[in-house]
Chains A and B, each alone.
Chain A
Amino acid sequence: MFSKGTKRKFSDGDEEISDESLVGARVASSYNLQRQSLLDMSLIKLQLCHMLVEPNLCRSVLIANTVRQIQEEMTHDGSWHMVTEAFCGPGQSPSERLVATEVLCRSREQDAEPKLFSVISYEGCREEEVVADETLCSVSVSDTVSNVCLAGRVGQCWEKSELSGVERDEEALEDSRLGSGEDEEIDTEDGASTESPKTTGQVFGTFEIKNGSPGPDSALEELFSDVDTSYYDLDTMLTGMQSAPKMGPYDLLDSLAPSHGSPSIVSTPTCRSDLNELDHIMEIIVGS
């Protein structure tokens, strides 16, 4: 059941006596499972667009708020990790993937340290329609380590055939080796999965580099800023669903209101903004 009066903390279980803590752990894990399944269900609900008729905005907003709530709680619990599922085989068309989370970077390219990333893939609701996506990499300027890590991973992903995800380590949660995940929307074009030019042409994610403000609680801010921006994909999803389900790539660009940073909608690899974002990414890679 999902009714919970107070937020649970991991430390609670440790303080109890052994058998109680075992029960507590079981309850916690079943709660986590239920929560995860609710999250998956909600994301699938958001994905299933009724494309002939505009989807019900009220329903979409309520589901999105629920997802946000779950993600916030998961982040606070520190259990924001991704369930890696081997859904995407090399030959599988992205259009068949309707799951909310998926493996992005292949395991062969992984480092030894644990990576935490959350990826929410939104399939295009229509044939050629691809929903806008935003990937926000919050990179603190003063944090060169993160820069390197990020760039390194980006570089790795870059070379691979399928660009999946980006992750970042959160300094604030260094002790637990958990970090708030990066949300990235994969902009997948139906039927284009088997194309060979996958390197730059398949950069579906657009990266927005945000300079974190170094301050006393900069880590905390970054945590929350991450949480906030990680829902950008949901919102753009809503926007995309609600406003432009079947428009061409440039119509999408025009229809979405420009926000701070450099959001851009990638519908096809040939989109203009894509090239701008590519420059951004190259700068990061080269700059570090």
Chain B
Amino acid sequence: MGEDSESPKINHSFLRDYVTEEDLLATGDKGGRVVIFQRETESKGESEELGESGEYNVYSTFQSHEPDFDYLKSLEIEEKINKIRWLPHQNAAHFLLSTNDKTIKLWKVSERDKRPEGYNLKDEEGRIKDISTVTSLRVPVLKPTDLMVEVRPRRIFANGHTYHVNSISVNSDDETYLSADDLRINMWHLDITDRSFNIVDIKPANMEDLTEVITAAEFHPQHCHLFVYSSSKGTLRLCDMRESALCDKHSKIFEEPEDPGNRSFFSEIVSSVSDVKFSHSGRYLLTRDYLTVKVWDLNMEKGPVETYQVHEYLRSKLCSLYENDCIFDKFECVWNSTDSVIMTGAYNSFFRMFDRETGRGVTLEAWRENSKPRAVLRTRHVYTGGRRRRGDVGVDSLDFTKKILHMAWHPAENIIAIATCNGVMQ
């Protein structure tokens, strides 16, 4: 099992391709490093058992971003990786985008397992031969060597953002992608680094009037002209790029009216959407705010079609969570491959899975006793009243430093990757 026992807060993105035998998982950390894991397929002759999953081992590690300094503002730019996204697989090499607060980079991950041998002018070590010693000519041949994984930066998309980049999303046209910061969304062409189109700008003329920021954005999985972005006020805006060049006016806005019974000073903070994901089918949206995950139907704007409570027992603790800043934690959410199960993280190394067909949720703990890759995770329960069962965890004994913010689900199989504070688990 590949385990990266480094810094906390590891990002994930799953390769959306497993047509080939390769399964790759990329994670980024606070130190600007990206680690790519590869799944070892256990070949059992002609057939593979269902649910068979191999181990993930480290495939490659590289330093994606370095700390930088903005001389104009006298501020450091952190090298922390905010998001990673794989590009759709087109040829033998894999491409991924990684971003820190300001700069997005396109990396090419390629394998080399052959090398040319038999040069005429160079000897085995690469030194130039003395011409007089060359008596015959031959054609260099490719000989197999040990597998080498090369990662090279192919594009650097810099200076596109004034604010902190929080999302990147590759378009279904395989040519463009968007990057979103707090106030703007830019669209880039993968081959062009010195220009980007600004497609959303919510910066007010007076910064004093600023009350809402962009929190996440994503392209539609099939329609290359549609994208959605979420805000700190809990609204989702679906925009159609065919309507205008600047998509400040949304095509659809998805907003749930506030529940007056639950109103408090923290209502707005709690409603801020931390992550938004299209379903694989493209029909639904999944959003995560502080206490719930919601499924929205693109055809219905007035409210979500499904709402799942992630940790409703925290509603009475919002004041202390505000004090220790935990209320600002941004949790991610994911769909499974068939859009039937959704998953999101919580505190105390817990994460929650919800079965959409039954509406039931389960709490699991991301904790391994040993390094068995397919160990069954324990089902946990948080005690909130009523009969207390053995093994229940009280709300006050939750460890809020062990938060599961980042996760990914394999695009085709039931393999999930969860970032805990000291490692990556599959």
Contact = CB atoms under 8 A, between A and B. Distances in A.
Q: Do A and B bind each other?
A: yes
A4 B263 contact: yes
B232 A62 contact: yes
B208 A259 contact: yes
A66 B268 contact: yes
A259 B210 CA distance: 14
A57 B74 contact: no
16 contacts: A1-B264, A52-B76, A53-B78, A57-B163, A58-B213, A62-B232, A62-B272, A66-B265, A69-B268, A232-B208, A234-B208, A238-B210, A245-B74, A245-B75, A246-B73, A247-B73
Q: How large is the interface on A (under 10, 10 to 19, 20 to 34, 35 or more residues)?
A: 35 or more
Closest 6 CB pairs of A and B: A235-B208, A246-B74, A239-B207, A3-B264, A57-B182, A2-B264
Contact of B266 (A53, A66, A236, A256): A66
Interface in A1-54: 1-5, 34-35, 38, 41, 45, 52-54
B208 A243 contact: no
A61 interface: yes
A273 interface: no
A1 B207 contact: no
A126 to B, nearest CB: 9
Contacts of B211: 61, 64-65
Given A59-B328, A256-B207, A257-B205, 17 more contacts: A2-B319, A5-B261, A34-B319, A45-B325, A52-B75, A54-B73, A57-B163, A58-B232, A61-B213, A62-B232, A65-B211, A69-B265, A244-B73, A246-B73, A247-B73, A257-B206, A257-B207
Interface centre among A61, A64, A231, by most B CB within 10 Å? A61
A61 B164 contact: no
Contacts of A66: 265-266, 268-269
Interface string A228-263: 000110111011001111110000000011010000
A246 to B, nearest CB: 4
A94 B319 CA distance: 30
Contacts of B370: none
Contacts of A244: 73
Nearest to A58: B213
Contact of B232 (A38, A61, A231, A256): A61
A226 to B, nearest CB: 15
Contacts, number: 101
Interface in B282-313: none
Interface in B313-341: 316, 318-319, 322-323, 325, 328
Interface in B67-94: 73-78
B207 A242 contact: yes
A70 interface: yes
A288 interface: no
Contacts of B215: 58
B272 A5 contact: no
B208 A38 contact: no
B386 interface: no
Contacts of A246: 73-75
B328 A56 contact: yes
A256 B163 CA distance: 16
A236 B208 CA distance: 6
Contacts of B210: 61, 235, 238
